[in-house]
Structure 1
Amino acid sequence: MSIVQSGTPNYLKMINKRKVLQEIMDGGELYSRASLAKALKLSKPTISALVDELVLEGWIYEKESMVAARRGGRKPVQLFFNKEYKYTIGMDIGGTSTEIAIMDLDGTCILHRKIDTQDGLQKDFIHLLVDEVNSMLEAKNISHAKVLAMAIGAPGITDSDQGIVMEAPSLEWLDYPLKNKMAKHFPFPIHIENDVNMAVLGECWKGAAKDKSHVVLITIGTGVGCGIVINGELFRGGQFAAGEIGYMITNKDQASQGFESVFEGYGFLENQVGGPSIVKQYKRGMQGTKFSAEKIFEKAIEGEALAMEIINEALDHLAVSLINVAALLNPECIVLGGGISKSGYWFLPKLQEKIEQYLPEQSRTEVMLTKLPQASLIGATVLCMKKDALLSR
């Protein structure tokens, strides 16, 4: 869609057209042309012209109500958003696996596939991704023209303006021009974002933080990721590195003594609460064991002494990080995601107690668990819509 200069008649028309479409999209009530004009305080001829245009383009459709008008006569014609007029493609590139989904404009998954990232990196990864996307579109008989945009989440510091993955250790990418490489193969817009930034958009739309404007999402798996939404918008920082809380110092004495990093480039907090760190600490006390972090959590819940000691230490570090984040940003909620969230029912009260112990009432925030197993893919739809001139809010 071409850019319309602000202040011109076409710009005002675009603003009103966006208002009409988004009022119908929100779906708070069923609208006729007349009731829509009243709700938006626009003239009936203006609304009628905009609705005609949106119907012609395919964004909305009209359908006769099943219920007759109160005073009899013709049944009212109501307006509906066509969520399948366009589709989005979401891609979440993880260090282990890459997930791809075709979504409609209501965030419903039409088709989902997963591929092995590390295996793909040994080959031509870009062509592998391109082939997979085209295969999925063909399977659902969706042409390139029906795709609104594609949003790709990468695990690292990402220049979302230029579409460059500046640093992603798990992929061994440094200043990797991901957008340019993908754009050679597709005619629709492509947006690149940090994977946790994309996920927090999903949480705010469909997840635990639905309808909240100030949200922090912290994901804990191999490392620690963080996405921040302030006033309903992503906060990326000056060099796109906001939210890199894996480098947060949560114990100055331990940090000053130096610490052994599980992976090169990982920060202090990641080396205290990340899955590999928990496993490494447990192995020191249990020689020859091959437990996952999830299993060690289970053992801690069962009351095993060593597992409890290690997990409680990790939770202390996590609590300090949450207190610092809450004190600095004062979010409405902090959402926890990643592998650690599976055991959240057990440790969440411990974290909440720490927050209430060390923060004044005005700084306290609710800690919640993610409700979305594919938050990044849902967030990809949000990102695509935010970048579109007609759908952006």
Structure 2
Amino acid sequence: MSILQSGTPNYLKTINKRKVLQEIIEGDNLYSRASLAKRLKLSKPTISALVDELVEEGWIIEKESKKAAKRGGRKPVHLVFDKQFKYTIGIDIGGTSTELAIMDLDGGLILHRKIDTQDGLKKDFILLLVNEVNAMLEDKNICHTKVLALAIGAPGITDSDQGIVMEAPSLGWLHYPLKREMAEHFPFPIYIENDVNMAVLGECWKGAAKDKSHVVLITIGTGVGCGIVINGELFRGGQYAAGEIGYMITNKDQASQGFESVFEGYGFLENQVGGPSIVKQYQSGSATKKENAEKIFQKAIEGEALAAKIINEALDHLAVSLINVAALLNPECIVLGGGISKSGHWFLPKLQARIEHYLPEQSRTTVMLTKLPHASLLGTTVLCMKKHALLSS
């Protein structure tokens, strides 16, 4: 659906057309033309003309209800959004692995693939992504004209307006023009955003934070990321660096003594609670050299002394960061994602108790675990649809 600038003759019509489509997509009810006119307070002829256009363009399908009207007569005709009229492509670049997906406009996963990030960076990473995307489209027989847009979540500080990854330590990128590099290969729009910002969009759309307007998502994996939604909108900060809590100091004495960074450019908190840091600490005190962070968490749950010591120290740092975030932003909830969320049933009560102990009642918040296996990928669909005015802001 084309979007016009204000002041043009068809601007009001375009705005109403957008409202009609957004209501059909986001509304809780199945609408007929008459009920939609009542809902949006527009005349029936206006609604009918707009619906006709949306049906002709392919965004809406009219389906006859299986149930007859209460008073008899013909069955009502409902307006249904065609979620596979277009598709979105999402790419979530992580420090360890990169996930790619084709999704429909309801966030449904059509095809999903994963590649090794660090191995890909040793080659032509952009060409690798391009070839994967084209192969996936070919596998599903989807042509470029059926793609609404492609959105990429990148780790680190990202200028979403220019599509530049300003700094991503785990990738070795500095002022990397990711949008420009990808746009050379595709005819459809390409959007770049911080990966955790993508994930918090997904959480607010269909995840643990659904229907909430003030949300903080903290993901803990290779590093630590944070996405912030205030009044229903992403908060990026003055230089796109809001949410870089990986640099938060959670123990001033320990920080003043200096610390060895797992990745060059990583901050204090990331070097206490990130997966590679936990593995490194465990390996330095154990003869076992092949454990990953998930297994170390499991050992801590089972009571192994070394694992429990390392994990409890990491949780202490995490608790301090959550208290600081809650005190500063007063979110409705803090959602935890990334690999750490898999062990949440064990440590979540401890974190919640720390928050309730140190914060006044008005500053307390609920800590939740993500319910989405692919929050960042889902967020790419949200971003694409918002950019094309298919979802309300």
Give the TM-score range, shorter chain: over 0.9
Give the aligned partner of residue 263 of structure 1: 263
Give the aligned partner of residue 381 of structure 1: 381
* Unpaired segments ≥5 residues, structure 2: none
**Aligned mates of 1:389, 1:275 — CA distance in 2:** 38
Q: CA offset at residue 117 of structure 1?
A: 2.0
Q: Deviations over 1:61-97 (max 9, x none)?
A: 1122222222222222211111111110000112222
- Specify whether residues 96 and 341 from structure 1 end up closer, same or farther in structure 2 by C-alpha distance, changes over 3 A only: same
Q: How does 1:33-72 map to 2 (within 5 A)?
A: 33-72=33-72
Decide which moves more: 294-303 or 326-335.
294-303
**Aligned mates of 1:208, 1:325 — CA distance in 2:** 18
Amino acid at match of 1:201: L
**Aligned mates of 2:173, 2:226 — CA distance in 1:** 20
Give the aligned partner of residue 322 of structure 2: 322
**Aligned mates of 1:295, 1:86 — CA distance in 2:** 41
The reply on whether 1:104 has 2:104 as its aligned counterpart is: yes
Segments ≥4 residues shifted beyond 4 Å: none
**Aligned mates of 2:210, 2:129 — CA distance in 1:** 31
Query: Alignment partner of 2:170: what SS?
Result: coil
**Aligned mates of 2:313, 2:116 — CA distance in 1:** 33
Q: CA offset at residue 347 of structure 1?
A: 0.5
RMSD: 1.4
Amino acid at match of 2:360: P
Decide which moves more: 296-305 or 378-387.
296-305
Q: Deviations over 1:10-47 (max 9, x none)?
A: 11111111111111112411211111111111001100
TM-score, normalisation: structure 2: 0.97
**Aligned mates of 2:129, 2:293 — CA distance in 1:** 30
Give the aligned partner of residue 153 of structure 2: 153
**Aligned mates of 2:358, 2:32 — CA distance in 1:** 53
**Aligned mates of 1:300, 1:25 — CA distance in 2:** 45
Query: Alignment partner of 1:362: what SS?
Result: helix
**Aligned mates of 1:339, 1:277 — CA distance in 2:** 13
Q: CA offset at residue 223 of structure 1?
A: 1.2
The reply on whether 1:174 has 2:205 as its aligned counterpart is: no
Decide which moves more: 134-143 or 273-282.
273-282
Query: Alignment partner of 1:372: what SS?
Result: coil
Q: CA offset at residue 285 of structure 1?
A: 2.6
Q: How does 1:269-288 map to 2 (within 5 A)?
A: 269-288=269-288
- Specify whether residues 87 and 355 from structure 1 end up closer, same or farther in structure 2 by C-alpha distance, changes over 3 A only: same
Give the aligned partner of residue 116 of structure 1: 116
Q: Does structure 2 retain, via aligned residues, the 8 Å contact 1:282–1:307?
A: yes
Q: CA offset at residue 305 of structure 1?
A: 2.0
**Aligned mates of 1:197, 1:102 — CA distance in 2:** 19
**Aligned mates of 1:131, 1:259 — CA distance in 2:** 40
Q: Does structure 1 retain, via aligned residues, the 8 Å contact 2:199–2:376?
A: yes
Q: CA offset at residue 260 of structure 1?
A: 2.3
Q: Does structure 2 retain, via aligned residues, the 8 Å contact 1:14–1:390?
A: no
- Specify whether residues 279 and 127 from structure 1 end up closer, same or farther in structure 2 by C-alpha distance, changes over 3 A only: closer
* Unpaired segments ≥5 residues, structure 1: none
Work out the percentage of aligned pairs sharing the same amino acid: 85
Q: CA offset at residue 228 of structure 1?
A: 0.8
Give the aligned partner of residue 143 of structure 2: 143
Query: Alignment partner of 1:226: what SS?
Result: strand
Amino acid at match of 2:204: C
Matched length:
393
Give the aligned partner of residue 291 of structure 1: 291
Q: How does 1:1-393 map to 2 (within 5 A)?
A: 3-393=3-393
Q: Deviations over 1:308-358 (max 9, x none)?
A: 222111111110000000000111111111111111100000000000000
**Aligned mates of 1:376, 1:389 — CA distance in 2:** 20
Q: Does structure 2 retain, via aligned residues, the 8 Å contact 1:17–1:390?
A: no
- Specify whether residues 47 and 204 from structure 1 end up closer, same or farther in structure 2 by C-alpha distance, changes over 3 A only: same
Decide which moves more: 146-155 or 307-316.
307-316
TM-score, normalisation: structure 1: 0.97
Q: Does structure 2 retain, via aligned residues, the 8 Å contact 1:198–1:379?
A: yes
**Aligned mates of 2:284, 2:123 — CA distance in 1:** 36
Amino acid at match of 2:254: Q
Amino acid at match of 1:145: T
